[in-house]
A and B are shown apart, each in its own frame.
Chain A
Amino acid sequence: MAEQPILEVRNLRKHFNLGDGKILKAVDGVNFAINKGETFGLVGESGCGKSTAGRTIIRLYEATDGEVLFNGKDIRKLEGKQRQQLYRNMQMVYQDPYASLNPRMTVGNIIAEGLDIHGLASGKKRRERVSELLNDVGLNEEHASRFPHEFSGGQRQRIGIARALAIEPQFIIADEPISALDVSVQAQVVNLFKKLQREHGLTYLFIAHDLAMVKHISDRIGVMYLGKLAEVAPSEQLYAKPLHPYTQSLLSAIPIPDPQLQRKRERIILKGEIPSPLNPPSGCPFRTRCPFAMDVCAQVMPEFKEVEPGHFVACHLHT
């Protein structure tokens, strides 16, 4: 047997009951595992359920069905001390840097909150740790005494990253941690994520929609569409040989930072709206926008199958 994955997600579902008998299937039967020290990238269209998956894994939402095993233990069964221990080892960087920082706390106290809760540092050591973290994410010590509203969007996002890193967890769920940052700071933060991984064996679930960056940071990538995984593959392979038509269109839509190449290139621009997760299409959820849809696609949900070692895809073109 290979070593035990640090995180195993089995048939995870998160359905929101919106009343009036309306059920929104935000995450609907997702399976993947992440090994220790690995970075797993999760990409996909806005609203496809990435954040919900992350939030259910860290138990901000109770799963509707399925299992999340962290170090072999079902997190749904953890209570009291064990649950607190879970948060010592698993942290989340939130997508929305505006809503996730307490406006009445100074940046220094926000960052040190985890240190305080878990009693990890106080006094001078605490101050030093805060300065060090601020520097790590490209801010200055002087920022510690200021309040979140005094910062730009990108600066707030970095405060959230510093907060998650503060207690040195084993596993970090980073929900669009760099989308609000400009490229040079993105590079800085991504390099920091990688450095921490090398030095402390950190594991990441990295949620994003910038595929070039996701490719850069991830060992493996999962592509989500409407609550389900469409494709999972090692990142090089996903880019060299995308199998799912949705992955292919995603890759072709990435803007290239090179005006001359840009003018020459052909893109697949998807027509049609993203279907509503309240009323998903029958069969393959992508079929309403898929350039290759066949009759069978409307009738049968394609199975999520391993077509090459480590390369999974849910598409009738690949059965």
Chain B
Amino acid sequence: MAKPILEVNDLRVSFKMYAGEVQAVRGVSFTLNKGEVLAIVGESGCGKSVTAQTIMRLNPTPPSIIKEGSSILFDGKHEITKLTNSQMEHVRGEEMGMIFQDPMTSLNPTMTIGAQISEGIRKHQKVKKVEALLRASDLLALVGISNPHERLHQYPHELSGGMRQRVMIAIALACNPKLLIADEPTTALDVTIQAQIIDLLRDIQKKTETSIIIITHDLGVVAEIAQRVLVMYAGRVVEQGYLDEIFYNPQHPYTWGLLRSVPRLDSDTKSALVSIPGTPPDLFAPPKGCAFAARCPYAMKVCTEIDPGHFRVSDTHSSACWLLHEDAPNVERPIEAGGRTHG
């Protein structure tokens, strides 16, 4: 049996604002096994980054609050929600790594690359400066940066966007983390560099058995790297399963919409893309039933009134949709395997 590295249970995170409370994450549960790559996808603002940042406790509290009853169990022993700040700093530095969307704002512009990587190493391992620098150079080589020795003396602005992102990855890997969280690691990059970074992450995952959570809105990237997929909508998980289950047997109308709205190179250019009409609900006052009901073409009376909970599709696949209830009408899915649309 695969062992879980991360068990998230009923995670709820809100932001206290002047006008009320933004319920950004509203009961997210999932498990990540050791050595697995999990992709989190979903509409902008659905709570992907807040979920990831809460796992690493990077959200400032206040304004953010982790609600009572939420649990994040890391490596079977650390209850993240209960750790003190200094305990958390220890876990974060030693066992978790995070790659942010924008490498430029997360690297220190006044420090050389070498200093930044070795600082991370020395914070958590008792090694001499020279040793840390040597290790930094090895890490740069591991992430595919040429002339790593010389690069140690360069500053972030002297590197291209793709190289900076790789430096971020090197920093995240500096302490051999058990868990690596990558929040849109390739969004700011073009496809040729993106392909290199994805290859790199895959390679690292194979070599080091690191578990990875990757947040992206690029379903192409998901198809390339993930083993399991979590689809989020309005602060909740609406569907989760193995890669092929989500792409070839999607069950939630939001997932259908998501897969249908991807343009494909082999698709007809002049037709309009299929988008999901409407807007996601206001998280100040989320609806009581299914959060997607207002935009769902299949919504029934029950959908607006009662939250569907999670229906089991297989041992590894579940969907939060009333259509899976045995009394629900049969609807024809507007989508073929692999996201191709009908007609």
Using CB atoms and an 8 Å cutoff, list the residues of chain A in contact with chain B.
Answer: 43-47, 98, 135, 138-140, 142, 150-155, 179-188, 190-191, 194, 209-213, 215-216, 235-236, 239, 249-251, 253-262, 267, 269-270, 272-274, 276
> A262 with B224: in contact, given A180-B187, A239-B265, A257-B219 (CB under 8 Å)?
yes
Determine if A274 and B218 form an interchain contact, defined as CB atoms under 8 angstroms apart.
Answer: no
Q: Which residues of B contact A180 (CB under 8 A)?
A: 44, 187
Q: Measured between alpha carbons, how far is A217 from B5 in the docked complex, in Å?
A: 42
- Across the interface, B243 reaches (CB within 8 A) one of A135, A213, A259, namely A259
Given A140-B282, A250-B191, A258-B339, A273 and B17 contact (CB-CB distance below 8 Å): no
Instruction: Point out the residues of chain B lying under 8 angstroms from A262, CB to CB.
Output: 220, 223-224
Closest-CB distance, A206 to chain B (whole angstroms): 13
Partner of B43, one of A184, A191, A209: A184
B196 on the interface (CB 8 Å rule)? yes
Q: Does B84 contact A (CB under 8 A)?
A: no
Contact for A184 among B102, B223, B261, CB less than 8 A: B261
- Top 8 nearest A-B pairs (CB, nearest first) are A154-B44, A255-B220, A182-B217, A187-B273, A187-B275, A257-B219, A187-B261, A258-B338
Q: B-side interface residues toward A, CB under 8 Å?
A: 17, 22, 41-45, 49, 101-102, 146, 160-163, 187-196, 198-199, 217-224, 243-244, 247-248, 257-259, 261-265, 267, 269, 272-276, 279, 282, 338-339
Q: Which residue of A lies closest to B257 (CB)?
A: A184
A-B contact sample (17 more), CB < 8 A, given A153-B49, A182-B44, A215-B263: A46-B161, A46-B162, A46-B188, A46-B193, A47-B160, A47-B161, A154-B43, A154-B45, A194-B272, A211-B265, A212-B264, A215-B265, A255-B198, A257-B339, A258-B339, A259-B247, A273-B162
> Which of A216, A259, A273, A276 interacts with B269 by CB under 8 Å?
A216
| Whole-angstrom distance between the Cβ of B32 and the nearest chain A Cβ | 19
14 A–B contacts, CB within 8 A, in A order: A46-B161, A46-B162, A152-B49, A186-B217, A211-B191, A216-B263, A249-B192, A250-B191, A255-B191, A257-B262, A258-B339, A262-B223, A273-B163, A274-B160
A276 to chain B, nearest CB (A): 8
Q: Which residues of B contact A179 (CB under 8 A)?
A: 187-188
> What separation, in Å, do the CA atoms of A301 and B103 have in the docked complex?
33
Contact: B189 with A209, CB < 8 Å?
Answer: yes
Q: B263 to nearest A CB, angstroms?
A: 4
- Say yes or no: A187 contacts B217, CB within 8 Å: no
* Complex Cα gap A194–B144 (Å): 40
Q: Are A212 and B263 in contact (CB under 8 A)?
A: yes
Residue from the set A190, A255, A272 with the largest chain B CB neighbour count within 10 Å? A255
Q: Closest residue to A181 on the B side, CB-wise?
A: B44
Check A190–B273 contact: CB distance below 8 A: yes
Inter-subunit contact A273/B188 (CB<8 Å): no
Given the complex of chains A and B, what is the CA–CA distance between A155 and B282 in angstroms?
Answer: 13
What residue of chain B has the Cβ atom nearest to residue A254's Cβ? B191
User: Per a CB cutoff under 8 Å, which of A151, A251, A255, A270 touches B224?
Assistant: A255
Are A257 and B273 in touch, CB under 8 angstroms? no
Given A154, A213, A274, which contacts B263 in the complex, CB threshold below 8 Å? A213
The reply to whether A255 and B192 form a contact with Cβ atoms under 8 Å apart is no
Asked whether A236 and B160 contact (CB < 8 A) given A138-B279, A250-B192, the answer is no
Knowing A191-B273, A215-B269, A255-B221 are in contact, say whether A209-B257 is a contact too (CB < 8 A).
no
Residue of B nearest to A251 (CB): B265
Q: What residues of B have a CB within 8 angstroms of the CB of A267 in the complex?
A: 195
Tell me the complex Cα distance, A182–B254, Å. 13
Residues of A within 8 A of B276 (CB): 184, 187-188
Known: A153-B101, A239-B265. A182 touches B192 (CB 8 A): no
A142 to B17, CA, bound (A): 14
Interface contact B44-A188, CB-CB below 8 Å: no
Closest to B277 in A: A188
| In contact, A183 and B279 (Cβ under 8 angstroms) | no
B44 touches A155 (CB 8 A): yes
CB distance from A50 to the nearest CB of B (A): 10
* A136, B146: Cα distance in complex, Å: 46
Shortest distance from the beta carbon of B253 to any chain A beta carbon, whole Å: 12
Q: Would you call B190 and A45 a contact (CB within 8 A)? A: yes
- Known pairs A259-B247, A262-B223; A183 contacts B269 (CB<8 A): no
Chain B neighbourhood of A46, CB < 8 A: 160-162, 188-190, 193
